[in-house]
Amino acid sequence: MLCPSFCLKDFPSLNMTDQPTHSGAVPAWLEEGFEHIWLPYTQMQDAPLPAPIARTEGCRLIMADGRELVDGVASWWTAAHGYNHPHIREAVTRQLETMPHVMLGGLAHEQAYTLAARLAKMTPGDLTRVFFSESGSVSVEIAMKMAVQYWINKGEKGRSRFVSFTGGYHGDTFATMSVCDPEEGMHSLFAGLLAEQIITDLPLTRAQEQEFETLLEDRCDGIAAVVMEPLVQGAGGMLLHSADTLAFIRAACDRHGVLLILDEIFTGFGRTGTMFACEQADVVPDIMTLSKALTGGTLPLAATLARTHVFDAFLSDSAGTALMHGPTYMGNALGCAAANASLDLFELDPPGPRVEKIEAHLMHALAPARQLPGVKDVRVKGAIGAIELEPHTDHDWMKAQFIERGVWIRPFGNIVYTTPPLVIEADDLACITSAMVDVVRDWGINKRKDG
């Protein structure tokens, strides 16, 4: 299968502003709606038109004029099985015909209860209780709320602070912003409004390990939990750490009586090579959060899982010890049906062997980028490949270049990365990696000329 190939000279507006107007035909819905929509992470004053997508198929995004882009980021890492998978589509269709949603307050439906039991069975250790919500950020907020109330229910009311790590990202809501890296820029505007947490470096060296031990020892009476992304810090720049580091953090939390929350929203469901990243360190968190690939990228759904000892702290004759949280659409029947179908696919065709092949290709195909001008590092872990560049603001130019080459890659910060669908074929994956190397090469040459 050949990569789609486009020519920027045919589309002057794309060449200049990253506006995919293709043959001069901007879809009416895009032109009209752009005057009203507010896009994520976008300065709307000079925002270019986004690429108009009419439909999806497999690992492809089909544009409004019929041309195709190989999706290199799986719609923010969600479309693990590709798009329009018939098994998921049929499950959602069946559910829609019977019951799209009922509240979980006082009512029950099969999809949510079946999904809870399956997640409890497939996650490591005794993560036996599942609380559903609609988004990853909210699932982390729920985890934080569980951790604080866990200590309150145990009679330790002063334990309300969280330890998180530089380079970490856990969401855009107010509580989750407080445990993100404060220097990465996304949330710095809100510094004075956020709860003050303890953000430190990952303990990657012996000296940092000792500093982390000392931190937990000195301040454990005020700490509810440590919050971290296992093995890969995604939105912080695809930063990697070892299974040994994760195992050390788990052991340190145990030594000092601190809960450990693992945010597996990005790393869960095979992305790093095992079903959950924490399995590579033989670690079981006290609380785990999941989302993104949970439904195969079809419907919004998230889950917060707690171990038995955490759940047991909420059991009492007093109503005041219950977890007082309940999103309106929690356990949405359509979302749970999609998730159950997604889990079917993971069970029928475990992602490990496919991710191993993707990782081998990424390591080989992205290696030449290490020698290109402007490149600081190349990192690969499982089905994650990242090229770190010197600081720049050329994201729109890069996106246009990727579209010209028939792929969808969305650089952020100084990172050009791919997190392809786990079912991607070799030809499509090669299309992605060759485009990454070519665009970075052209960027480096242009940067050197301009400099």
Active-site residue (options: 263, 286, 381, 417): 263
The C-alpha atoms of residue 73 and residue 420 are separated, in whole angstroms, by 5
- Whose tokens are 């191993």? That residue is 356
**Stated pTM of the model:** 0.94
Spatial distance between the Cα atoms of 21 and 15, rounded to a whole number of angstroms: 10
Query: What pLDDT was estimated at residue 6?
Result: 42
Instruction: Give the pLDDT of residue 14.
Output: 37
Active-site entry in 18, 83, 150, 169: 169
Residue given tokens 């010890």 in the structure block: 321
**152 CB neighbour count, 10 Å cutoff:** 17
Could you state, in chain order, the average pLDDT of each consecutive group of 10 residues for the chain (451 residues)? 44 37 74 96 93 97 95 98 98 98 97 98 98 98 98 95 97 95 76 90 98 97 98 96 98 98 98 98 98 98 98 93 95 98 98 98 98 97 98 94 97 97 98 98 84 59
Residue among 163, 176, 132 at smallest CA distance from 290: 132
Q: Which of 41, 317, 449, 450 is catalytic?
A: 41
Number of H helices, E strands in the chain: 14, 16
Distance CA(251)–CA(226), nearest Å, equals: 12
The catalytically annotated residue of 18, 150, 292, 428 is 292
CA distance 14 to 396: 10
pLDDT for the residue numbered 4: 53
Q: Is the dihedral of CA 107, 110, 111, 114 positive or negative?
A: positive
CA dihedral (166, 361, 443, 421) positive or negative: negative
Calculate the dihedral angle through the C-alpha atoms of 292, 296, 302, 306, rounding to the nearest 10 degrees. -100
The dihedral built from the CA positions of residue 182, 187, 188 and 193, taken in this order, carries a sign that is negative
Q: What is the pLDDT of residue 109?
A: 98
Quick one: tokens of 78? 């969600």
* pLDDT computed for residue 451 by the predictor: 59
Contact 230, 274 (CB under 8 A): no
Topology of the domain covering 86-348: Aspartate Aminotransferase; domain 2 (3.40.640)
- Strands 127-133, 302-307: pairing is antiparallel
Architecture of domain 8-80+351-450: Alpha-Beta Complex (3.90)
What is the DSSP track for 313-365?
A: TT-SS-GGGS-----TTTT-HHHHHHHHHHHHHHHHS-SHHHHHHHHHHHHHH
How distant, in Å, are the alpha carbons of 138, 404, 444 from that of 368? 40, 21, 13
Specify the DSSP class assigned to residue 416. Answer: E
Measured CA to CA, the distance from residue 390 to residue 406 in angstroms comes to: 25
Q: What is the pLDDT of residue 15?
A: 37
Beta strand 259-263 pairing with 239-240: unpaired
The DSSP H or E segment spanning 74 is helix 74-77
Query: Residue 3 is encoded by which pair of tokens?
Result: 């990569």
HSE value, Cβ hemisphere, 13 Å, CA-based, for 115:
31
Q: What is the largest CA-CA distance in the chain?
A: 72
Domain ranges of the chain: 8-80+351-450, 86-348
Q: How far apart are alpha carbons 115 and 415 in whole angstroms?
A: 35
Torsion of CA 261, 147, 204, 243, to 10 degrees: -30
pLDDT at position 133 is 98
Tokens (6 digits) for 244? 């040994």
Contact between 151 and 157 (Cβ < 8 Å): yes
* ∠ CA 277-348-100, rounded to 5°: 90
Return left, alpha or beta for 84; rule: phi > 0 is left, psi -120 to 50 is alpha, else beta. Answer: left
169 as an active site residue: the answer is yes
Q: Which residue has the tokens 């507006």?
A: 13
41 included as an active-site residue:
yes
Q: By the 8 A CB rule, do 289 and 264 touch?
A: yes
